[in-house]
Structure 1
Amino acid sequence: MTQQTDVVVVGGGQAGLAAGYHLRRQGLDFVILDAGAAPGGSWQHMWDSLHLFSPAEHSSLPGRLMPAQAGRTYPDARHVVDYLTGYEKRYDLPVQHGTRVEAVRRDAGRLLVEADSGTWRTRAVIGATGTWSRPFLPAVPGRDVFAGRQLHTVGYRSPAEFAGRRVMVVGGGNSGAQIAADLALDGHVEVTWVTRRPPRLLPDDIDGRALFDVATARRRALDAGRNDTGGIASLGDIVAVPPVRAARDAGLLTAKPMFSQLTTEGVRWADGSHSGADAVIWCTGFRPALAPFAPLGLRGPRGRIPNDGTRALGEPRVHLLGYGDWTGPASATLIGVGRTAREAVREITGLPA
Structure 2
Amino acid sequence: MGTVTDTPTPSVEAVRAALATVQDPEINRPITDLGMVKDVRVQGGVVDVEVYLTIAGCPLRDKITRDVTGAVSAVPGVAEVRVALDVMSDKQRAELRKSLRGEAEEPRIPFAEPGSLTRVYCVASGKGGVGKSSVTVNLAVAMAARGLSVGVVDADIYGHSVPRMLGATGKPTRVEKMIMPPQAHGVKVISIGMFTPGNTPVVWRGPMLHRALQQFLADVFWGDLDILLLDLPPGTGDVAISVAQLIPNAEILVVTTPQPAAAEVAERAGAISLQTRQRLAGVIENMSWLELPDGTRTEIFGSGGGAAVAESLTRTVGAEVPLLGQVPLDARLREAGDNGIPLVISAPDTPAAVVLRDIATRLSTRARGLAGRMLSVTPAGR
TM-score (norm 2): 0.25
Higher RCO (CA 8 Å, separation ≥ 6 residues): 1
Rg larger for: 2
TM-score (norm 1): 0.26
